[in-house]
């Protein structure tokens, strides 16, 4: 295999991994919210969020995997925005639990 095709596949796999990790983090967040589990959202979801954003940024470098990277980045940005909004809303309800 040529080095160019290997590099192309690596970028494509990183794009797909960014999408998969973004969807997994959204599933974990939804399950913890629906079932009322006392899962520390900041420690678990922030790791998935960082992985999603990292893979998305890396995969946007290549032209052929740019759409996958943008999907992963959009999932990561949505999840980060959701966490910030939920934290701000919960802070206004009960600032000192």
Task: Give this prediction's pTM.
Answer: 0.81
* DSSP classification of residue 65: T
Cβ(8)–Cβ(62) below 8 Å: yes
Domain ranges for the chain, please list them: 16-93
Which of 41, 37, 17, 90 minimizes the C-alpha distance to 9? Answer: 17
| Reported confidence tier of residue 37, pLDDT bands at 50, 70, 90 | low
pLDDT of residue 74: 94
**Is the Cβ–Cβ distance between 93 and 41 less than 8 Å?**
no
Answer for the pair 48, 75: CB distance below 8 angstroms, yes or no: no
Q: Compute the distance between CA of residue 16 and CA of residue 28 in angstroms, rounded to an integer.
A: 18
For the segment 12-36, what is each residue's pLDDT rounded down to a tens digit? Answer: 999 999 999 999 888 888 877 787 7
Residues 65-90 have pLDDT tens digits of: 899 999 999 999 999 998 899 888 88
Separation in Å, CA 49 to CA 5, 8, 9: 28, 24, 23
pLDDT value at residue 73: 94
């Amino acid at each position: 295999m040529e080095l160019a095709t290997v590099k192309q596949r690596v970028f494509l796999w990183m794009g797909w991994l960014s999408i998969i990790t973004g969807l997994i983090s959204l599933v974990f967040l939804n399950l913890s919210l629906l079932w009322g589990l006392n899962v520390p959202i900041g420690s678990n979801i922030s790791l998935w969020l960082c992985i999603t954003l990292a893979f998305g940024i890396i995969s946007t470098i290549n032209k052929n995997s740019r759409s996958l990277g943008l999907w992963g980045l959009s999932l990561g940005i949505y999840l980060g925005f959701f966490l910030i909004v939920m934290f701000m809303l919960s802070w206004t309800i009960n600032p000192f639990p």
